[in-house]
């Protein structure tokens, strides 16, 4: 039967989606190879927590594995369980450690807990007593005051001759709090402390640097690096160019284009009054899609300190958000775009190759990490691999 309905169903949902996200896996693989090269003699791992920074742990995990990554970091055991199918021979470290009751998940999926406190260590020793040798990693706090054994606790553990032989740390790690600021003195202090700790764990691999630390140079690389945001195209260090390739492109469809007169107002609260006759594009993206209300052009407290709201990109032109972003819709000023160049149904790029993720995030007073991990469920997603480009 070939009635009209069958034909309709053949449309690729991506081509008809009100809101869509393209993940460029080829760029992701290139970014990993770039990070691996910048890691010098150290191996580069890959951080894929929070669903690979919102971009999809399955496709991203497999792409990174095929690019050569063999050390992965996730936040939780359930993320590790998901990843295992896509990274069969890799070591998967669980940054939040292990809780009683999770042993089976760790053993079944061959996950390595990153132990960060005396309590976790004590629990871990009881697990080893029951089940025998199993690898673990140790996180040491060198000044972040987040997770980790204190330096003194770590040194005492390294010297503890009574620790069971089944206790097999395979990695000791720490995390820089100001790696994104290359001049920060704290980096050097954390480095010195971490050197002391890693020396005490003779024969155990050491890891200090996330994306930003990789840019701080070879002193910071140790045996294994832990890039995250840079893999996904985000900016790792403040005040330097971003050498990474953009990976994610978010686009919203224009539902309606409308003409409005000077003096009229736009969106909730009427906070933006048009200074000229204007053409407005109403696009199907809102704060429910992680297009944060703080990206609004006006009508929010943040505009006092960050005067410009977000811009979209269409037909070679940066177009500003006008007034408040609403739950499902955002209004862009497209007055400066020549009218034959855009129509309802066209897509406005929210971020991607033409509109840097970090610039958009900055307009909301936040960072690319938060924008990516908050994208929400309404995007139609497409992955581009080597075969698709």
Ligand X SMILES: *Cc1c(COP(=O)(O)O)cnc(C)c1O
Annotated binding-site ranges for substrate? 146, 327
Q: Minimal distance in Å, beta carbon 291 to ligand X?
A: 21
Whose Cβ is closer to ligand X: residue 143's or residue 228's?
228
Q: Provide the token pair at 150.
A: 């204190």
Instruction: Give the phi and the psi of residue 47 in degrees, each rounded to 5.
Output: -100, 120
Q: Minimal distance in Å, beta carbon 144 to ligand X?
A: 9
Q: How far apart are CA 104 and CA 111, in angstroms?
A: 10
Q: Which of 38, 21, 47, 40 is nearest to 231 (CA)?
A: 47
Q: Provide the token pair at 359.
A: 């610039």
268 is catalytic: yes
CA distances (Å), origin 47, targets 94, 146, 209, 237: 10, 18, 11, 17
Whose Cβ is closer to ligand X: residue 225's or residue 298's?
225
Query: Nearest residue to ligand X, using CB?
Result: 228
Whose Cβ is closer to ligand X: residue 131's or residue 146's?
146
Altogether, the residues listed in the chain come to a count of 389
**Options 49, 53, 86, 232, the catalytic residue:** 49
Q: Which of 73, 62, 61 is nearest to 225 (CA)?
A: 73
Q: Minimal distance in Å, beta carbon 227 to ligand X?
A: 5
Q: Minimal distance in Å, beta carbon 93 to ligand X?
A: 9
Q: Which residues are annotated as a binding site?
A: 146, 327
What would the 3-class secondary structure string for 301-332 be?
A: HHHHCCCCCCEEEECCEEEEECCCCCCCCEEE
Whose Cβ is closer to ligand X: residue 22's or residue 211's?
211
* Three-class DSSP category at 197: helix
49 is catalytic: yes
List residues near ligand X by CB under 6 A.
Answer: 47, 49, 95, 175, 210-212, 226-230
Is 139:226 a contact under the CB 8 Å cutoff? no
> Please, where are the H alpha helices in 118-239?
118-131, 151-159, 185-200, 211-214
Q: Minimal distance in Å, beta carbon 75 to ligand X?
A: 7
Per the DSSP assignment, residues forming a β-bridge with 134 are: 167
Q: Minimal distance in Å, beta carbon 228 to ligand X?
A: 3
**Options 65, 86, 134, 268, the catalytic residue:** 268
Is 299:267 a contact under the CB 8 Å cutoff? yes
Q: What is the DSSP string of 25-49?
A: HHHHHHHHHHHHHHTTTSEE-EE-H
**Residue 223 DSSP class:** S
* Three-class DSSP category at 351: strand
Whose Cβ is closer to ligand X: residue 221's or residue 253's?
221
Whose Cβ is closer to ligand X: residue 215's or residue 313's?
215
Return the active site residues: 49, 268
């Amino acid at each position: 039967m070939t009635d009209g309905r069958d034909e309709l169903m053949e449309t690729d949902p991506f081509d008809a989606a009100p809101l869509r996200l393209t993940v460029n896996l080829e760029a992701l693989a290139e970014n990993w190879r770039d990070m691996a090269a910048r890691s010098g003699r150290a191996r580069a791992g890959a951080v894929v927590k929070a669903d690979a920074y919102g971009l999809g742990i399955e496709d991203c995990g497999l792409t990174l594995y095929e690019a050569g990554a063999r050390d992965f970091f996730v936040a939780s055991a359930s993320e590790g369980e998901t990843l295992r199918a896509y990274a069969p021979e890799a070591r998967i470290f669980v940054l939040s450690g292990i809780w009683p009751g999770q042993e089976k998940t760790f053993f079944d999926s061959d996950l390595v807990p990153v132990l960060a406190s005396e309590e976790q260590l004590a629990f871990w020793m009881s697990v080893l007593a029951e089940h025998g040798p199993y690898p673990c990693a140790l996180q040491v706090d060198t000044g972040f005051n987040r997770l980790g054994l204190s330096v003194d606790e770590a040194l005492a553990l390294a010297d503890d001759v009574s620790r069971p032989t089944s206790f097999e740390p395979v990695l000791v790690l720490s995390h820089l709090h100001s790696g994104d600021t290359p001049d920060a003195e704290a980096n050097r202090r954390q480095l010195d402390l971490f050197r002391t700790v890693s020396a005490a764990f003779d024969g155990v691999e050491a890891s200090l640097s996330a994306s930003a630390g990789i840019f701080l140079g070879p002193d910071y690389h140790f045996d294994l690096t832990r890039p995250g945001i840079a893999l996904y195209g985000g900016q790792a260090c403040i005040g330097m160019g971003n050498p990474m390739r953009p990976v994610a492109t978010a686009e919203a469809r224009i539902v309606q284009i409308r003409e409005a007169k000077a003096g009229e107002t736009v969106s909730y609260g009427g906070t933006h009054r048009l200074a000229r006759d204007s053409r407005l594009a109403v696009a199907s993206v809102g704060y429910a899609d992680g297009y944060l209300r703080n990206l609004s052009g006006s009508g929010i407290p943040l505009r006092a300190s960050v005067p410009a709201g977000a811009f979209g990109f269409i037909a070679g032109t940066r177009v500003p958000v006008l007034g408040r972003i609403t739950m499902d819709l955002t209004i862009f000023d497209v007055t400066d775009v020549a009218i034959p160049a855009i129509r309802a149904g066209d897509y406005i790029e929210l971020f991607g190759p033409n509109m840097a993720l970090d610039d958009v995030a900055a307009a909301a007073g936040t960072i690319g990490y938060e924008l990516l991990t908050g994208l929400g469920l309404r995007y139609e997603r497409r992955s581009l691999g080597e075969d698709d480009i």
